[in-house]
Amino acid sequence: MFGALAVPAPAAAQSGPPAVAPSVRGLPDFTDLVELAAPSVVNIRTLERVSNNGEGSASGMDEQMREFFRRFGIPMPPGFTPKGPQQDPRVPEEAQPRGVGSGFILSSDGLIMTNAHVVEGADELIVTLSDKREFKAKVVGSDKRTDVAVVKIEAAGLSAVRIGDVNRLRVGEWVMAIGSPFGLDNTVTAGIVSAKKRDTGDFLPFIQTDVAINPGNSGGPLINMRGEVVGINSQIYSRSGGFQGISFAIPIDEAVRVSDQLRASGRVTRGRIGVQIDQVSKEVAESIGLGRPRGALVRGVEDGSPASKAGVEPGDIILKFDDKDVDNSVDLPRLVGNTRPGNKSRMTVFRRGAQREISITVGELEPDVVAQKAPTPDSSKPKASSALQRLGLVLSELSVAQKKQLNMPKGGVRVEQVDGPAARAGLREGDVIAAINNEETGTLSAVESALAKLDSTKPVNVLFRRGDWSQYTLIRFAR
């Protein structure tokens, strides 16, 4: 039997921090929340046109299961063979069930938010309200990168959801989901917020919960105890094919930002600056004088990109974008992506042991461009001094033509042979070293100057170029 939680009175002589009284002294009651929010939740059925030759989609439930396994990378269970409906060749083409999802009403005039993967590839959409009325819907806009879509039905006087503040959402807080798992309309599940800002995508810091989410819940609302929508249920983590206590929701503030653009233009415009980035490790941060690991390490700069025009260099660490901290590399794509193309922004970068400000004009994000591999420069004047021999390196300078080919106007030195500590650090023949311990190494004499200052008791940080991308490594002397 569940009852109120009893909080024992502290002993008079008890030491340590004071006890914190629980904010909820019993199990939460969701009944009022369900009555408040349920009229705003809809069921979305997708239909697909099939030909009269008997080929087409599997049944609705089979297709929904296939979508579930495909979306989360789960192997198809043994013996699970979806079977499509048998059709008479004389029967004309008709719409057949394709899948089931959920959604919620954004405005009283029929705007509905759901997941992009719910409506993707559908020939027809049927929206069923909580009062069992059905409407054909059309897609206003869909964005695959964030998995957000907006659809419209011709209706009026609908019950719209209340949008909550994600910033007020706390880990451990009770939340509730309403949706259509496996086509079971108006199903209510509940749990707590397990984590916030969970990084599972470039543009979205997901809300992680333990609310039971299954195929058909996709696109439905995640609701807090004030009856406000704080997220869109979108993904789960599973190794078995069933719910395993980990589900993810798109934060509603991010979703609303996307939906506003979809409603205005049918598409989402995002900013881009043209850099390839990576995380900054603790060891690299300490070795270059950055202190704690933070920011986004620029591994490469696309030719002709906004970053290239602004003077961003491989090896730079971007610490701030428009005065907003870049704590992790995943923060940068979100900050840049949410910036209007054409906007002039400021960046703080860490380069060669010092911070500097860079002004940059943000471009518009386009489909990913596959970088072509830089040509391997010819060997010339290989050199291995005693210091280089300790590191296990034989180096040569780049010619003027090679600098131009590699887009390295400040030069660098090419690794001709590698062994010992440098090989253990991951350097390879053909790599081009651009800096050692924050000192530029455009020439062999610059390398000698940097090596003369080495402390053999400390690791040597090396910024090097491989192909089109730059990165750091630490070389440790043998003891």
pLDDT in tens, 208-218: 999 998 888 99
Query: Is the predicted pLDDT of residue 310 greater than 90, yes or no?
Result: yes
Question: Are 306 and 362 in contact, with CB atoms under 8 Å apart?
Answer: yes
Name the 3-class secondary structure at 437: coil
* Catalytic site includes residue 218: yes
* Catalytic site includes residue 32: no
Residue 471: which pLDDT band, with cuts at 50, 70 and 90? confident
Q: Which domains does the chain have, with CATH numbers?
A: 26-77+91-268 (2.40.10.120), 271-364 (2.30.42.10), 386-475 (2.30.42.60)
Taking the chain, what is the end-to-end CA distance rounded to the nearest angstrom?
A: 65
Question: Are 359 and 346 in contact, with CB atoms under 8 Å apart?
Answer: yes
Alpha helices in 137-217 (DSSP H): none
Euclidean distance between CA atoms 172 and 174, whole angstroms: 7
More confident residue, 379 or 266: 266
What pLDDT score does 390 carry?
Answer: 79
Query: Is the predicted pLDDT of residue 36 greater than 90, yes or no?
Result: yes
Q: How large is the average pLDDT for residues 156-175?
A: 95
Euclidean distance between CA atoms 12 and 443, whole angstroms: 73
Q: Of the residues 57, 102, 117, 331, which is catalytic?
A: 117
* Catalytic site includes residue 316: no
Q: Of the residues 147, 316, 431, 468, which is catalytic?
A: 147
Looking at every residue in the chain, the average pLDDT score rounds to: 81
Query: Is the predicted pLDDT of residue 91 greater than 90, yes or no?
Result: no
Euclidean distance between CA atoms 229 and 61, whole angstroms: 28
- CA-to-CA dists, residue 101 to 108, 158, 209, angstroms: 20, 19, 19
- Cβ contacts of residue 350 below 8 Å, gap of 6+? 288, 290, 295, 316, 317, 319
Q: How large is the average pLDDT for residues 112-116?
A: 95
Percent of the chain with pLDDT over 70: 78
What pLDDT score does 68 carry?
Answer: 53
Q: How large is the average pLDDT for residues 101-115?
A: 96
Q: At CA 443, angle to CA 442 and CA 447, rounded to 5?
A: 95
Residue 383 pairs in a beta bridge with: 395
**From 66-80, 132-146, 417-431, the region with the lowest mean pLDDT:** 66-80
pTM over 0.85: no
Letter for the amino acid at 264? A
Residue 10: which pLDDT band, with cuts at 50, 70 and 90? very low
What six digits make up the tokens of 312? Answer: 């961003």
What pLDDT score does 392 carry?
Answer: 84
What six digits make up the tokens of 407? Answer: 């887009």
Q: Of the residues 57, 218, 238, 247, which is catalytic?
A: 218
Per-residue DSSP letters for 138-177?
A: EEEEEETTTTEEEEEES--S--PPEE--GGG--TT-EEEE
How many CB atoms sit inside 10 A of residue 50's CB?
19
How many CB atoms sit inside 10 A of residue 24's CB?
11
Query: Is the predicted pLDDT of residue 402 greater than 90, yes or no?
Result: no
Residue at token pair 């620029």? 298
